[in-house]
Amino acid sequence: MFYLIGLGLGDATDITVKGLRALERCSRVYLEAYTSVLTVGKEALEEFYGRELIVADRELVEQQADRILEDARETDVAFLVVGDPFGATTHSDLILRAVQAGVPYKVVHNASIINAVGVCGLQQPLYTFGETVSLVFWTDTWRPESFYDKICKNREAGLHTLCLLDIKVKEQSEENMMRGRKIYEPPRFMTVAQAADQLMQIVQRRRGEGEELGLTEDTLCVGVARLGADNQAIRVATLQQLVSCDLGGPLHSLMVTGQLHPLEVDMLQLSAETSLLQSLQVLDGSTYWS
């Protein structure tokens, strides 16, 4: 059997009972380590699970998936994923490969960022949120802005936007990649401040071009970090204010609000910047800034 097991969002103890029992039966256990990370490292997971973990990087999962599925017809093999197993399309590909190879599989679900963001006070992430977007690290030659347009489209419909922020784990520089050198860059995790800064740059550029803006520096946003952990952080502030915020270690996510319900406003005020408490008003179901 090939098991695809979700680990949840916090630490080693977030695994479900079903997932832990399946893991304990497996002869090999892989830990996917490039689409997301927990707040604890591999060693803490191994100590709690009582099993050695094989770190599965992007190259192994996307180019050598047959190694993961090897022997799964005769023995149990587990593949551990932070959050829920289907938070990334890569994991759907593993299932398709297992089916093609005649390997039976089971999926053990867990909490993911998609539903956990409701803790900030924005209601029903599956109903009041529009399309989820991903913000990537810009480079000197690549500065995509498609996520901005999707956020604006969501806001036009009155919907909130969950922005998933880029992580770079075991990445090569362009030079090392071209030269075939297996030298990897230090891990990088985009922060809420970095994401807000990129959005601010887009706002300023498009304003300069005379474009009608779908969000501005005064748009109400929510920054979150390490959801599910004991030290999770939530910050409600304007986009401009989030540029200078420090929410600590990874992982971070950013939400851009759409139309707010009065109950959402009450919840958001629990984590709002002090300067916002008197500014946030709800009139006819919409949020205005005084």
Q: Where are the domains of the chain?
A: 2-111, 114-289
9: annotated binding-site residue?
yes
Same fold, 2-111 and 114-289: no
Q: Which of 14, 169, 154, 139 is nearest to 80 (CA)?
A: 14
According to DSSP, residue 201 is labeled H
Give the span between the Cα atoms of 33 and 221, in whole angstroms.
29
Hey, which residues does 188 pair with through a beta bridge?
A: 168
pLDDT at residue 286, as a whole number: 46
Cα end-to-end span (Å), the chain = 59
87: annotated binding-site residue?
yes
Q: Which of 228, 233, 247, 32 is nearest to 42 (CA)?
A: 32
14: annotated binding-site residue?
no
Hey, which residues does 233 pair with through a beta bridge?
A: 225
Q: How many CA atoms lie within 13 A of 175 on its CB side?
A: 1
pTM: 0.87
84: annotated binding-site residue?
yes
172 pLDDT above the threshold of 80: no
276 pLDDT above the threshold of 70: no
233 pLDDT above the threshold of 70: yes
Topology annotation, domain 114-289: 3.30.950
67 pLDDT above the threshold of 90: no
The fourth-level CATH superfamily of domain 2-111 is Tetrapyrrole methylase, N-terminal domain (3.40.1010.10)
Phi, psi of 6 (to 5 degrees): -80, 140
Q: Residue 241: CB partners within 8 Å, gap ≥ 6?
A: 273, 275
279 pLDDT above the threshold of 60: no
- H-helix or E-strand containing 54? strand 54-56
pLDDT band at 162 (very low <50, low <70, confident <90, very high): very high
The mean per-residue pLDDT over the stretch 207-236 comes to 93
The mean per-residue pLDDT over the stretch 95-113 comes to 92
239: annotated binding-site residue?
no
Phi, psi of 74 (to 5 degrees): -105, -20
49 pLDDT above the threshold of 80: yes
Write out pLDDT tens, residues 206-216. Answer: 999 999 999 99
pLDDT at residue 278, as a whole number: 53
113: annotated binding-site residue?
yes
